[in-house]
Amino acid sequence: MDNSKPAVERPGQPCRYDMWSLGIGFFFFLLLISALFSASDPDFWWHFRTGQLIFETGKVPVHDMFSFTAAGKPWMSHEWLAEWFIYLLVSRTTYWGSLIFFGALFAGAFWILDKLLKAMQLRTAWRLFLLVWAAVMALPFLTVRPRLFTIFFYALFLSAIMRYYRGQTVHWWLLPVSMALWVNVHAGYIAGLALLGVLFVAEALRGWHDKRTPHRLRTVGLVFALTLLASLITPHGLKALWYPFTYLGYQNPISALIAEWQSPNFHQTRQWLLMAAILFSLATGLVWRQKEWLPLLLLGSMTVAVLHAVRYLPLFAITWAAVEGEWIDQHWPAILESAQRAIPRRQAWRNCLTFAVLLTITIGSLPYFASRGRLQSVSMPRTDGKGMIYPAEAATWLQQNRPRARLFNQYRWGGYLIYRLWPGQKVFIDGRADVYGHLAIDYQHCATAQPDWDRVLEQWDIDTVLLSPQTPLSAVLEASPQWERSFTAPGQVVYVRRPDRR
């Protein structure tokens, strides 16, 4: 049974590009430009170094070699292909080369979303509205990191399943092929399998309600099976399927310490747009005209995910825009059609309104660029996403004066120190959450100067500490007779244990 929706005639719709189309183009231009202002991620450095290791040895690492606290411990480098690519891109071009590529990848995800909204026959104004809202929610995650591949592939999979549910033509072969790449660049590939699973459940519910033939279920099941098989094309094999589930709940203690793995804090103004999107979804869900299972299952599952961990915000934003586009298409046709009749007779008003929207987008983006800091360096970034200076001077001092130190380092600086000091010197901790496990608890206990903080330093025979001077541990070491400050630079300080106090 063909469940495709008949084409809707849009009376009064011009067959030329209008001011709203210009707004869409300006939106994508802003997305690309914003990549050059995006803050560097502290994990970029160990991704770069891992990619260099893979490029030079031709092997994917399976054990930790960057730290002395987890040396030899099994480590699944699930992002190995993305890391190899990041190293190749930066070393052959510049850091700007990686910014432009990942910015284009981010914009590509919203281009796919725009094509999906256009296939719903939404007016360009509505498309622009949904694109801007979703992009503003997702922009803080625009960094040079492998997870940008997940954002892109998620948009691709979401577009395919929503088109199929609407009865449109889908090139199913793209999904297994994409999965073979996705599984090697980021563990977020599990979201692609989850989308196909949601589609299967939605088709089963709709087929049971409408007494449909099982043909569509067989199609989805076959695509899911082929995509699942493609997810095994990885050096890690079956282990890759289990890996994403290690981050669920609190099995990995370091996840509870990383901000992006925590629930959104709606006391922060930057999360108000997310709260408004959820409230808007609740309002539209109450007046849903038909039992459309797929939009409800998609938006419900992604809402639960983003309330569990804010790192899912880009995926929620794309899902939200697609589902709300479906709602607008189903419930406001009369409003849209009457607006289309009126707009050609009020061309001046339309142009003024479009100019106002574009001006609002431009002015609204200025705080974003200001919060991200200056234009990124062409060579390598100097500060992270929180404006914290990377300890370049301290790393040089350590290389020259304490090349074999047992170093306790700040968590956010671990990746940078791997980039600067490895293999001559290893770190205490870095951003690889799956490697350290319960060591994260000891790190937090010591870094926040909790009672018995020195137990961790004694346990690991630490003789050198590199921190920001604003940390609680720095204040404690400054007053301790067992430690002396040996090096200071803006935003960084090195303490060395006194030899006579060991």
Residue 145 has a pLDDT of: 92
pLDDT range class, residue 18, cuts 50, 70, 90: low
* pLDDT, average across residues 464-482: 93
Instruction: For 256-325, give the DSSP string.
Output: GGSGGGSPP-TTSGGGHHHHHHHHHHHHHHHT--S--HHHHHHHHHHHHHHHH-GGGHHHHHHHHHHHHH
pLDDT range class, residue 2, cuts 50, 70, 90: very low
pLDDT range class, residue 260, cuts 50, 70, 90: confident
Backbone angles phi, psi at 383, to 5 degrees: -135, 160
Query: Mean pLDDT lowest for which of 282-286, 302-306, 443-447?
Result: 282-286
pLDDT tens-digit series, residues 209-253: 666 557 888 899 999 999 999 999 999 888 888 888 777 654 556
**Helix, strand, coil percentages, rounded to 5, for the chain:** 65, 5, 30
**Burial category of 415 from C-beta neighbours within 10 Å (exposed 0-12, middle 13-18, buried 19 and up):** buried
pLDDT at residue 104 tops 50: yes
**Burial category of 44 from C-beta neighbours within 10 Å (exposed 0-12, middle 13-18, buried 19 and up):** buried
**32 and 104 Cβ atoms separated by less than 8 Å:** yes
pTM recorded for the entire structure: 0.85
Taking every pair of Cα atoms in the chain, the longest distance, rounded to a whole number of angstroms, is 87
Higher-pLDDT residue of 227 and 5 is 227
The overall average pLDDT reported for the chain is 82
Neighbour count for residue 489 (Cβ, 10 Å) = 15
pLDDT tens-digit series, residues 384-398: 655 568 899 999 999
DSSP annotation of 254 reads G
pLDDT at residue 286 tops 60: no
pLDDT range class, residue 267, cuts 50, 70, 90: confident
pLDDT range class, residue 10, cuts 50, 70, 90: very low
Q: Are strands 407-409 and 464-467 parallel, antiparallel or unpaired?
A: parallel
* pLDDT, average across residues 396-425: 93
Residue 253 has a pLDDT of: 64
Identity of the residue numbered 426:
K
pLDDT at residue 111 tops 90: yes
- CA distances 149 to 152, 153, 188, 371, Å, are 5, 6, 9, 24
**90 and 97 Cβ atoms separated by less than 8 Å:** yes
Query: Mean pLDDT lowest for which of 140-154, 186-200, 211-225, 427-441?
Result: 211-225
DSSP annotation of 383 reads B
pLDDT range class, residue 29, cuts 50, 70, 90: confident
Cα end-to-end distance, the chain, whole Å: 80
Residue 403 has a pLDDT of: 87
* pLDDT, average across residues 285-312: 80
Q: What angle do CA 32, 35, 40 make, to 5 degrees?
A: 170
Sign for the CA dihedral angle at 94, 96, 101, 106 comes to positive
* pLDDT, average across residues 119-147: 88
Higher-pLDDT residue of 238 and 149 is 149
Backbone angles phi, psi at 389, to 5 degrees: -70, 135
Instruction: For 93-138, give the DSSP string.
Output: S-HHHHHHHHHHHHHHHHHHHHHHHHHTT--HHHHHHHHHHHHHHH
Q: Considering the chain, what percentage of its residues have pLDDT values greater than 90?
A: 47
Torsion angle of the four alpha carbons 264, 269, 270, 276, in this order, in degrees rounded to the nearest 10: 80
Residue 27 has a pLDDT of: 85
Q: Considering the chain, what percentage of its residues have pLDDT values greater than 70?
A: 79
Query: Mean pLDDT lowest for which of 164-168, 169-173, 255-259, 325-329?
Result: 255-259
Identity of the residue numbered 256:
A
Residue 475 has a pLDDT of: 93
**Burial category of 470 from C-beta neighbours within 10 Å (exposed 0-12, middle 13-18, buried 19 and up):** exposed
Query: Mean pLDDT lowest for which of 63-67, 105-109, 177-181, 252-256?
Result: 252-256
* pLDDT, average across residues 372-394: 63
pLDDT at residue 374 tops 60: no
Domains of the chain, first to last: 19-42+76-372 (no CATH), 392-501 (3.40.50.12610)
Please name the helix (run of DSSP H) or strand (run of DSSP E) that holds residue 32, with its range, or none.
Answer: helix 19-37
pLDDT at residue 306 tops 50: yes
pLDDT tens-digit series, residues 35-88: 877 778 889 999 999 999 999 999 999 999 999 999 999 999 999 999 999 999
